[in-house]
């Protein structure tokens, strides 16, 4: 025994390490083996040594953890009398508590180490989550779980495998999700405070500032990965129970009453205590309410961070489906979404989905919504990644019958002007959008056909130079639709599409020749059928299209010339292979041979 303890950890064999663990589990007399076994829980130790030490330490702490006092850093640590502090048993258990805290720290250190093997990480995480499950008297050990998430988020290196493993194996449990939301809220607030402090002290060392910014962005990436991989709370009929990792479930509002009971009361009223615990189990409806509240707090805290652009776009792309339906009060996102919508470009396009939901389903009022939407119409939008969703939302936003005529005309004219400089797939979307606008708003049908005598009062007051035919009063550079003068213009750009080289465009534009004011004889076009178009889809539709008549170059007689002689007076185009030319060449050859024979004679 003494020889084993005297050996250095690097020279100890695996069999000897196993003996140390067996001795620790057999008697308190071998408690000095505990620090030796802890020394092997390290990223630099060979994986077999780490596993052997882990098995012994996990078996040891599982049996004694329920009797250990709270940690020194715990806020719930009760006051202890001086006499109790002198008790050898109390000193021993306090020492064990410090060793358990050290054990937890070492486990986390190996888990987030880039040198650790993935298989070893998986085993260590399972052991760690067992302590989370049982280490707090049967309740969820939230303090060490928070320490794990904090280490993952603040790690200077990516730990994608550990995050994926945690999400795959443990996010199916409701209590794990619940305490994950709580920890992420705290971590996001801490990062926000840190970012504010860094901004106040900026201007010193530039290199340290850039490193701090990179570290902040990496932490935000990790928080986003974790919070976006927590599955939403499934629908529950109120009868079935949710799956919990720990046996006690989520904390209720009455748990502090049980902690006030003295030991004598607990011993005397065991039956009352069991009944009390049964009553403290939350119903599925209460669990759903608490989960929604924690979900909301975690996401709001995260969205207040200085999110990098790539993460910003990922958040906006899924916000309307993965976040808004599960918030306790979705209207609290109005500040975040309006700021995103004001940024412009692709970010505004991606924020439109969520903002539209808040406006139509939650009563959000945004006065400059249509002005911002009008400003988004540019040629680049027809090549954007999320253009399909944007065009569908654009059609929905222009569906209201209370839309002013000048606004509907401005959108129709702006789309018409864009049809000049977009690919055929974009022209198909533009024709469908204008078709729906003309059908919904009969007051703007004057844009389709306007006679020279149909002049407004503004036109009559203009100078003579502006009354010339062919003057388009529409200002395509104006960002305000009110000042664009769309009502004084016409959709002449759409008329040019009737002779477009692409057959689908020239065919679809014919639908605008119908009288769209007669709603009973016309129907709206589904923008979804055109919003995802491209050159490939247009070509695919054309080759699959079945036609009854195919234009052919058919002639009753074989043509003798490429162009008819009537188009080129004085010129003659003859086919060298024709019969007349061959006959003439034969006669000429016979005459030449006759002359040669005469000369020879």
Number of other CB atoms surrounding residue 142 within 10 Å: 18
Q: What is the pLDDT of residue 80?
A: 58
Could you tell me which residues come within 8 angstroms of residue 427 by beta carbon, excluding any fewer than 6 positions away? 419, 497, 500, 502, 505
| pLDDT above 80 (res 354) | yes
Q: Does 252 map to a domain?
A: no
Handedness of CA 116, 121, 123, 124 (dihedral sign): positive
Q: How confident is the model at residue 183 (pLDDT cuts 50, 70, 90)?
A: very high
Handedness of CA 9, 14, 16, 22 (dihedral sign): positive
Of 517, 544, 571, the position where a domain reaches its end is: 544
Token duo for residue 314: 């990922």
Say what the pLDDT of residue 200 is: 59
In this structure, is residue 485 part of a structural domain?
A: yes
pLDDT of 387 strictly over 60: yes
Rounded (10°) CA dihedral 225, 215, 145, 302: -50
Q: How many structural domains comprise the chain?
A: 2
Is the pLDDT at 206 greater than 60? The verdict is no
310 and 373 both lie in a single domain: no
Q: 319 and 374, same structural domain?
A: no
- pLDDT above 80: residue 489: yes
Angle made by CA atoms 296, 302, 306, in degrees to the nearest 5: 150
pLDDT in tens, 112-154: 999 899 999 999 999 999 999 987 777 889 999 999 999 999 9
**415 and 512 together in one domain:** yes
CA distance 557 to 575: 14
Q: In this structure, are 118 and 172 located in the same domain? A: yes
pLDDT at 173 over 50: yes
The pLDDT of residue 417:
94
Spatial separation of the C-alpha atoms in residues 475 and 493, rounded to whole Å: 14
Are 414 and 374 in contact by the 8 Å Cβ rule? The answer is yes
Q: H-type helices in 398-470, by residue range?
A: 405-418, 424-440, 457-460
Check whether residue 307 and residue 444 sit in a common domain.
no
Asked whether residue 322 falls in the same domain as residue 386, the answer is no
Confidence band for 262, pLDDT divided at 50, 70 and 90 = very low
pLDDT at residue 18, as a whole number? 92
pLDDT of residue 385: 83
pLDDT digits (tens, 9 = 90+) for 67-104: 888 876 655 555 555 555 678 888 899 999 999 999 99
Instruction: Tell me the percentage of the chain whose pLDDT exceeds 70.
Output: 75
Mean predicted confidence (pLDDT) in 254-260 = 44
Q: What is the pLDDT of residue 278?
A: 43
How far, in Å, CA of 348 to CA of 345, rounded? 6
Judgement on whether residues 446 and 317 belong to the same structural domain of the protein: no
405 lies in some domain: yes
Q: Which of 311, 326, 341 is the last residue of a domain?
A: 326
Structure confidence by residue, pLDDT tens digits, 470-487: 688 899 888 889 999 999
Q: Please check whether residue 104 lies inside any domain of the structure.
A: yes
Q: Are residues 316 and 418 in the same domain?
A: no
Residue 520 has pLDDT above 60, yes or no: yes
pLDDT at 433 over 80: yes
The residue range of the domain holding 60 is 14-72+90-196+216-228+282-326
pLDDT at 327: 92
Q: Considering only CA atoms, which of 182, 563, 535 is closest in space to residue 382?
A: 535
Quickly count helices (H) and strands (E) in the chain: 27, 0
Residues 372 and 321 in one domain: no
Tokens linked to 444: 């703007």
33-42, long-range: CB within 8 Å, 24+ apart, which pairs? 33/5, 34/60, 34/99, 35/99, 36/5, 36/9, 38/99, 38/102, 38/103, 38/106, 39/9, 40/9, 41/103, 41/106, 41/107, 41/110, 42/106, 42/109, 42/110
Task: Examine the pLDDT at 225 and tell me if it is beyond 50.
Answer: yes
pLDDT at 11 exceeding the cut of 80: no
CA distance 312 to 489: 40
Q: Tally Cβ neighbours within 10 Å of residue 406.
A: 16
User: Looking at residue 69, what is its pLDDT?
Assistant: 84
In degrees, to the nearest 5, what angle opens at C-alpha 181 toward C-alphas 180 and 183? 65
What pLDDT is recorded for position 59?
Answer: 93
Q: Classify residue 521: in a domain, yes or no.
A: yes
- Report d(CA 300, CA 595) in Å as an integer: 108
| pLDDT the model gives residue 232 | 83
Q: Nearest 5°: phi and psi at 368? A: -95, 25
Q: What is the spatial distance between Cα 412 and Cα 486, in angstroms, rounded to a whole number?
A: 8
- Tens-digit pLDDT profile for residues 362-382: 888 888 889 989 999 999 899
In a domain, 408, yes or no: yes
Which whole number is the average pLDDT over 35-60?
93
Read off the pLDDT of residues 267-309 as tens digits, 9 standing for 90 and up: 444 443 444 444 455 677 888 889 999 999 999 999 999 999 9
In a domain, 560, yes or no: no
Instruction: Between 451 and 96, name the one with better pLDDT.
Output: 96
Q: What share of the chain is helix, strand, coil (3-state, %, to 5)?
A: 65, 0, 35
Let me know if residue 505 belongs to a domain: yes
- 361 and 375 in contact (C-beta within 8 Å)? no
Residues 164, 229: Cα–Cα separation, whole Å: 9
Residues 305 and 180 in one domain: yes
- What is the rounded average pLDDT of the residues 509-518? 82
pTM: 0.77
pLDDT for the residue numbered 587 = 60
The predicted structure's pLDDT at residue 453: 52
pLDDT at 126: 94
Q: Report the range of poorest mean pLDDT among 226-235, 291-300, 310-319, 573-582.
A: 573-582
On whether both 410 and 293 belong to a single domain, the answer is no
Q: What is the pLDDT of residue 137?
A: 76
Tokens 């104006």 label which residue? 478
- Who's near 137: CB < 8 A, 6+ residues apart? 66
Average pLDDT, rounded, for the chain: 81
Q: Choose between 84 and 388: higher pLDDT.
A: 388
Instruction: Write out the two tokens for 377.
Output: 């119409």
Distance CA 165, CA 159 (A): 10
DSSP per-residue letters across 332-362 = GGHHHHHHHHHH-HHHHHHHHHHHHHHHHHS
321/385 same-domain check: no
CA neighbours closer than 13 Å in the CB half-sphere of residue 45 = 27
């Amino acid at each position: 025994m003494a020889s084993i303890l005297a050996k250095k950890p690097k020279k100890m064999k695996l069999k000897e390490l196993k003996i140390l663990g067996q001795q620790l589990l057999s008697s308190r007399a071998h408690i000095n083996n505990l620090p030796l076994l802890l020394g092997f829980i390290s990223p630099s130790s060979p994986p077999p040594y780490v596993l052997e030490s882990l098995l012994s330490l996990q078996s040891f702490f599982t049996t004694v953890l329920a009797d250990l006092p709270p940690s020194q850093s715990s806020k719930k640590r009760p006051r202890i009398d001086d006499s109790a502090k002198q008790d050898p048993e109390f000193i021993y258990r306090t020492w064990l508590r410090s060793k358990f805290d050290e054990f937890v720290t070492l486990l986390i250190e190996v888990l987030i180490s880039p040198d650790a093997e993935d298989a070893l990480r998986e085993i260590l995480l399972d052991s760690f989550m067992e302590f989370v499950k049982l280490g707090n008297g049967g309740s969820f050990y939230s303090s060490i779980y928070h320490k794990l998430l904090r280490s993952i988020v603040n790690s200077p290196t990516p730990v994608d495998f550990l995050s994926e493993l945690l999400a795959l194996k443990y996010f199916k449990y409701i209590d794990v999700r619940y305490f994950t939301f709580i920890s992420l809220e705290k971590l996001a607030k801490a990062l926000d405070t840190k970012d504010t402090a860094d901004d106040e002290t900026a201007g010193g060392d530039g290199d340290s500032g850039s490193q701090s910014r990179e570290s902040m962005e990496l932490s935000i990436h990790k928080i986003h990965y974790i919070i976006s991989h927590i599955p939403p709370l499934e629908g529950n009929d109120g009868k079935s129970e949710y799956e919990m990792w720990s046996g006690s479930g989520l904390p209720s509002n009455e748990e502090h009453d049980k902690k006030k009971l003295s030991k004598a009361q607990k011993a005397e009223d065991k039956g009352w205590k069991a009944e009390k615990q049964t009553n403290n189990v939350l119903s599925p409806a209460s669990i759903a309410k608490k989960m929604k509240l924690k979900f909301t707090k975690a996401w709001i805290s995260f969205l207040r961070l200085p999110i990098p652009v790539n993460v910003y776009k990922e958040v906006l792309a899924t916000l309307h489906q993965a976040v808004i339906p599960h918030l306790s009060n979705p209207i609290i996102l109005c500040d975040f979404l309006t700021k995103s919508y004001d940024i412009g470009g692709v970010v505004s396009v991606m924020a439109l989905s969520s903002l539209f939901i808040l406006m139509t389903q939650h009563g959000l009022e945004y006065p400059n919504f249509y002005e911002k939407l009008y400003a988004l119409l540019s040629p680049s939008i027809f090549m954007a990644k999320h253009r399909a969703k944007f065009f569908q939302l654009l059609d929905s936003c222009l569906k209201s019958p209370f839309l002013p005529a000048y606004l509907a005309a401005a959108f129709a004219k702006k789309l018409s002007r864009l049809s000049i400089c977009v690919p055929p797939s974009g022209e198909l979307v533009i024709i469908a959008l204008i078709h729906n606008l003309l059908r919904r708003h009969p007051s703007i049908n004057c844009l389709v056909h306007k006679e020279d005598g149909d002049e407004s009062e503004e036109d009559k007051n203009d100078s003579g130079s502006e009354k010339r035919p062919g003057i388009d009063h529409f200002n395509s550079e104006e960002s305000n639709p009110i000042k664009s003068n769309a009502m004084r213009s016409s959709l002449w750009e759409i008329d040019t599409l009737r002779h477009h080289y692409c057959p689908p465009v020239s065919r679809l534009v014919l639908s605008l020749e119908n009288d769209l004011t007669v709603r009973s004889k016309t129907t709206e076009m589904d923008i979804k059928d055109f919003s995802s178009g491209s050159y490939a889809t247009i070509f695919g539709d054309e080759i699959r299209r079945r036609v009854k008549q195919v234009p052919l170059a058919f002639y009753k007689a074989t043509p003798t010339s490429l162009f008819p002689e009537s188009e080129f007076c004085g010129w003659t185009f003859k086919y060298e292979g024709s019969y007349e030319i061959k006959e003439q060449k034969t006669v000429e050859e016979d005459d030449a041979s006759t002359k040669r024979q005469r000369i020879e004679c």
